[in-house]
Structure 1
Amino acid sequence: MKKAFLVLFFTAAGSVLYAQNVATINSNPISSREFLWVYKKNHAGETKLNQKDLAAYLDLYVNFKLKVAEAKSLGLDNEETYKQEIAGYEDALKSQKKVSIDAPEYTYIMNEYREGVLMFNVCEQKIWGKAQEDDAKLKAYYTNNVQNYGGKSFEEVRGQVVGDYQQQLETDWVNSLRAKYKIKINQAELKKLAKQ
Structure 2
Amino acid sequence: MRKVCCIFIFCFSTYTTFAQNVASVNGKSISSKEFMWVYKKNHAGVTSASQQELADYLELYINFKLKVIDARANNLDADTAYKKEISGYESALKAQKKTSPKNIEYNFIMNEYREGVLMFNVSEKKIWSKVHDNEEKLLEFYNKNINQYNGNDFSDARGRVIGDYQQYLENEWIKTLRAKYTVKVNDDELKKLAKL
**Aligned residue for 1:135?**
135
Q: How far does the alpha carbon of each residue in 1:26-64 deviate from its partner, in whole angstroms, 9 at most, with x for none?
A: 211011100000001111253422111101100111111
Secondary structure of 1:133 counterpart: coil
Q: How far does the alpha carbon of each residue in 1:81-123 deviate from its partner, in whole angstroms, 9 at most, with x for none?
A: 1111111100000000111211110000000000000100111
Amino acid at match of 1:146: I
Contact 2:67 2:122 in 1 (8 A): yes
TM-score, normalising length: structure 2: 0.95
Moved over 3 A (4+): 1-5
Q: How far does the alpha carbon of each residue in 1:11-34 deviate from its partner, in whole angstroms, 9 at most, with x for none?
A: 221111101110011211011100
**Aligned residue for 2:65?**
65
Quote the Cα distance in structure 1 between the aligned partners of 2:152 and 2:21.
Answer: 49
Aligned pair count reads: 196
Contact 2:24 2:183 in 1 (8 A): yes
User: Is the deviation greater in 146-155 or in 33-42?
Assistant: 146-155
1:144-163 correspondence to structure 2 within 5 Å: 144-163=144-163
1:15-164 correspondence to structure 2 within 5 Å: 15-164=15-164
Contact 2:131 2:165 in 1 (8 A): yes
Quote the Cα distance in structure 2 between the aligned partners of 1:170 and 1:192.
Answer: 31
* Unaligned stretches of 5+ residues in structure 1: none
**Aligned residue for 1:6?**
6
Quote the Cα distance in structure 2 between the aligned partners of 1:172 and 1:15.
Answer: 33
Quote the Cα distance in structure 2 between the aligned partners of 1:162 and 1:97.
Answer: 42
User: Is the deviation greater in 68-77 or in 46-55?
Assistant: 46-55
Shift of 1:163: 0.9
Query: For the aligned residues, what is the CA RMSD?
Result: 1.3
Q: Percent identity over the alignment?
A: 55
Quote the Cα distance in structure 1 between the aligned partners of 2:175 and 2:190.
Answer: 23
Shift of 1:8: 2.4
**Aligned residue for 1:173?**
173
TM-score, normalising length: structure 1: 0.95
